[in-house]
Amino acid sequence: MTISGKTRVCGVIGDPIEHTLSPCMHNAAFEALGLDYVFLAFKVKPAFVADAVNGMRALNIRGLNVTMPHKHTVMANLDRIDLSAQLINSVNTILNKENLLFGFNTDGVGAVKALKENGVELKGRKVLLLGAGGAARAIAYAMAKEADELAVLNRTVKQAQALARLLEKSANKKIASGSLSPSDVQKNLQDSDILINATSIGMKPRPEETPVPPKLLRRDLSVMDIVYNPLETKLAKDAKAAGAKVISGVEMLIYQGAASFEIWTGKSAPVEVMRKAALNRLMKV
């Protein structure tokens, strides 16, 4: 990689940011397509989000990914925001086009693509989503459009209920909500076809945890855990042992990243290159 005065800069902002796989994934993609771009990670404290976004404009940074805890707060500093991102109050991708900053959310697109590319059909199915904050909101919005039924469970029930009411208006269908208690999980999982964990349960440093008792998992389920560190969570291991179809969290990471890549470059993302780079890095963690 040769960096010059013509090199376009993209990056990711968040706090913490040390764990991100985005630089290895995007830089591998830029190199594969011969694009004069570089991708960097920027640790931005919450008090400096506005400064960081204004700095993007001042430094002519082409694109940013936004991770926790900034997906909502960045919105106040953008010029235009995609309608779906407005609805869920969350932006994970910013495009700098002629000094105008455009906000998008590719998390939902990434989740849908991850499922479909791994042979999971959403039409006519019921999805049980665990979580109602962060990426979960974007996933819920996408699932409400694609699937026939959706239930959202969350530690804070009021947050799940508020998200369900919001989605009912936009999707014009009944959305169930509840808590992450074993009884609510069991009640909603028994007639679900697809289970998505969009909570942090099972993430390092507590990989022994799971949001779903193993006895509730069954062969006819499709299970996606968006946690990708560890590469195989306890939920994924339990689902595999039950004979369920398991989709790794790396898949959603790759496809949401690919959607961002295409927004910034206008080029089709080299998905296999991005997958290989992400997996190689995870193997070293």
Query: Closest Cα partner for 178 from 164, 157, 196?
Result: 157
- The catalytic position among 6, 45, 71, 116 is 71
Indicate whether 264 and 278 sit together in one domain: yes
User: How many domains does the chain divide into?
Assistant: 2
Any domain includes 65: yes
Indicate whether 239 and 127 sit together in one domain: yes
Mean pLDDT of the region 13-27: 95
Report pTM.
0.94
Neighbours of 236 (CB within 10 A): 23
Indicate whether 144 and 97 sit together in one domain: no
Indicate whether 117 and 176 sit together in one domain: yes
Q: pLDDT tens digit string along 44-101?
A: 999 999 999 999 999 999 999 999 899 999 999 999 999 999 999 999 999 999 999 9
Indicate whether 242 and 115 sit together in one domain: yes
Query: What is the rounded distance in angstroms from the CA atom of residue 66 to the CA atom of residue 63?
Result: 10
Mean pLDDT of the region 102-113: 97
Query: What is the rounded distance in angstroms from the CA atom of residue 64 to the CA atom of residue 207?
Result: 29
- How confident is the model at residue 156, as a pLDDT? 96
Mean pLDDT of the region 201-213: 94
For residue 226, is pLDDT > 90?
yes
For residue 1, is pLDDT > 80?
no
Indicate whether 120 and 230 sit together in one domain: yes
| Catalytic (active site) residue 204 | no
Any domain includes 1: no
- How confident is the model at residue 204, as a pLDDT? 87
Indicate whether 91 and 204 sit together in one domain: no
Residue carrying structure tokens 């764990």: 19
Mean pLDDT of the region 141-168: 96
CATH code at 272? Answer: 3.40.50.10860
Domain that includes residue 94, residue range: 8-105+255-284
Indicate whether 238 and 136 sit together in one domain: yes
- How confident is the model at residue 285, as a pLDDT? 65
Indicate whether 85 and 193 sit together in one domain: no
Indicate whether 141 and 191 sit together in one domain: yes
